[in-house]
Structure 1
Amino acid sequence: MSHQTGIHATAELKQFLVKARRGTVRVIKIVIRSEQLVLGAYREPSQSWDRDYDPCVLPLLDSLEPCYILFRLDTHNQQGFEWLFISWSPDQCPVRLKMVYAATRATLKKEFGSSHIKDELFGTTQEDVCFQGYLRHLSSCSSPAPLTSAEQELHQIKATEEERRRVANPSVRGKGKMEISVEGKHATMQGLAFPLQQEAKRALEQLRQRHINYIQLRLDTERETIELVHTNPTETRELPARIPSDAPRYHFFLYKHSHQGQSLEAVVFIYSMPGYSCSIKERMLYSSCKNRLLEEVEREYHIEITKKMEIDSGEDLTEEYLYEEVHPKPQALKQAFTKPKGPTGKRGNKRLIKGAGENGEES
């Protein structure tokens, strides 16, 4: 594979790599031009490697073109400074270009000197190759079993939930790690319980008294609280515009409408999660906190929630849709299977089926 493409470094690049290995350069960007490996850009060190990482690496990434990045660490081995080799291959670039860079990677490693490379990192998005992405890579390499980023965030959420239960029940402290599993329904089914901020509590009380008709709440994942976004008066036709397209939210809406000639009010809870534009951590936290929030609203504020909905956008949240969700049409009863009628008009002659006699003759 190292000579499959026939692409090699230019003489100028080889000379520059010899100089860079002495420690005068922090990061090197290498690209393929005219079927040759050439120097794209470089940066000199200004701080420690961890502080230099994002400012030096991220500006070199092109969303439409692959490249190789050699980042100098501050550690040493017998050959000198140790380096991180980053292969950048964005999703938007053509497949043929990705294949050329993938097939030439071994060539560049050999010409730079594999003994100088401490670690390798591959990425298609900035999240993969940023400083935090590199730390996740190191963590996965050192852990006994490799974890995806989703599994790492799930582990963090479970640890937070465990700590909250320890605080709520001091008797479990000092008794070792609490086990969380599918079998422990009491531990997992209740979800997380982020406390409501004071403004959010006042808003719920105002909704109970019918002084307001709309509440929007958000999770503060850093403070681990549920905060009020706003309580702007909202008509049913204005409800789709209240749904953010880039962030999850909890909504409480006092739906005033007419049904069968009567004027009715119904509190509707809407959990909006705009698909996968949100992080895995946000999706899991919002989903886990939802049930405990609803329990507290119904128990502490005596607000009866008529309908609970989950949506990914406000486009379909029309008045007709909301009405049908609150007053669903009764499902049509399935009709029992009936024997289809025969053809109309004159029927054919009836035929008698005669039985066979003992000797096979018709009787």
Structure 2
Amino acid sequence: MSHQTGITADEELQSFFGQHKQDHRLIKVSIKEEKLVLADSATPQGTWEDDYDAMVLPALEEKQPCYILYRLDSMNELGYEWIFLAYSPDFAPVREKMLYAATRATVKKTFGGGQIREEVFGTVPTDVSFSGYKAHVVAQSAAAPLTFAEEELKLVKETETNHHINVNSKHQTVQGVAFPISDEVLNSVERLRQGAVNYVQIRIDLENETIELDNCEDTDAESLNSRFPTDHARYHLFLYQHSHEGDYLQSLVFLYSNPEYKCPIKERMLYSSCKSTLLDALESQMHLEITKKLEVSVGSDIVNDQYLYDEVHPPKNVAKRAFDKPKGPTRKGPKRLTKPAVNE
């Protein structure tokens, strides 16, 4: 979810959006003195394809972020459809980039989100050029490949049976063991969903076979390692707040911490068996949108901000070199140690 800065459009920009935007092909918006202002505009000269690079590229500045609204020739029930371009060059001041990223949603809301057909983010001119826009459209229409774990989760969700989860229920819904969930866990998860806290730690009561709350308080990514018990397994829900491609995001991460041989075998088996049913309850019954599910070993100190960022936003298009077939011998048969005799 995006955070807001409190910056709003000045009277000139609001009036322009309300009365003149349909007559223009391009509208450039900037932030000046903590206000959204009209920086530039242009009327149509040809088709939207012909006008695109001729209008968009000259409007960009080398080290200055901006928003550009570009009008298409297609229409919907609200009027012309638009492309929203958020340009934030790499060499712009960090404060400027953060300010523009956090105000992005306000611009779309002020303009009218129902008329925006596509949204493109760029850090260099080629990202928001006509060819860059076409590449964006192709990428958006392509289905993302699923990992083996995602395929397995999809299959489980397609075959599962929904049920009501509360402290008195104990039913089998998906493969694994289902223990009843305490009211404390339900209340804490609801607070997490509403953003009142950003971290919840959950444990299994081995004697009573119930899911109980262990901890519910704010923390940060760099402190997560210190919250993993060294002799017991635990489940963790962490609301990871970070910036990605110009947007501030909050991604919900589920972690299963496992101290391995320091934890009793029975406990490890129960935590492993209950994980899928607990996740099912969190997502299906409690309506949590979990971005990433991770299993980590306690004591490795790998869980930090960079680790979570790489897991939530894995690198794209990483080419893997194919395995080279070993070369065969350069000659056939064993090497001769003596020269053959020469017949006189």
Normalised by the size of structure 2, how large is the TM-score?
Answer: 0.42
Which of the two has higher C-alpha Rg? 1
